[in-house]
């Protein structure tokens, strides 16, 4: 089975609305690995790893977000295993501190 790793940046009203917890829940439901964190510029950054179709579906979900969010822009680019390793040891998907 092939695997893809994408770094995703989400901009809009995405902090203070439960976006990180929502990403964690959705990604876990899709069986993805990775992490999500707030950025000081007001955006949310996520790293998603897994089956290409599941990662693509998750990126599509990120374009809508949870009900209280407003997503203005989502960009993604290929990432490496090194970035994936930022997640907490023993966790498939982590919510990381703000950077």
pLDDT at 1 over 90: no
Note the pLDDT tens digit of each residue in 24-77. Answer: 999 999 999 999 999 999 999 999 999 999 999 999 999 999 999 999 999 999
Q: What is the mean pLDDT of residues 75-93?
A: 95
Q: Which residues are catalytic?
A: 20, 38
Q: What angle do CA 15, 16, 19 make, to 5 degrees?
A: 60
Instruction: Give the model's pLDDT for residue 58.
Output: 98
Report pTM: 0.95
Domain boundaries in the chain? 4-86
Give CA–CA dist 38/24, Å, rounded. Answer: 13
Instruction: Give the model's pLDDT for residue 21.
Output: 97
- Assign domain 4-86 one CATH number from 3.40.50.720, 3.30.70.100, 3.40.50.1820, 3.90.79.10: 3.30.70.100
Half-sphere exposure of residue 42: CA atoms within 13 angstroms, side-chain side: 8
Q: What angle do CA 75, 79, 85 make, to 5 degrees?
A: 125
């Amino acid at each position: 089975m092939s695997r893809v790793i994408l770094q995703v940046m989400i901009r809009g009203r995405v902090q203070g609305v439960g976006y990180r917890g929502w990403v964690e829940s959705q990604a876990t439901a899709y069986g993805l690995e990775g992490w999500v964190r707030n950025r000081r510029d007001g955006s949310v950054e996520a790293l998603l790893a897994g089956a290409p179709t599941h990662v693509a579906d998750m990126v599509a979900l990120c374009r809508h977000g949870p009900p209280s969010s407003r997503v203005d822009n989502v960009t993604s680019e290929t990432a490496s295993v090194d970035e994936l390793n930022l997640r907490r040891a023993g966790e498939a998907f982590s919510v990381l501190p703000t950077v």
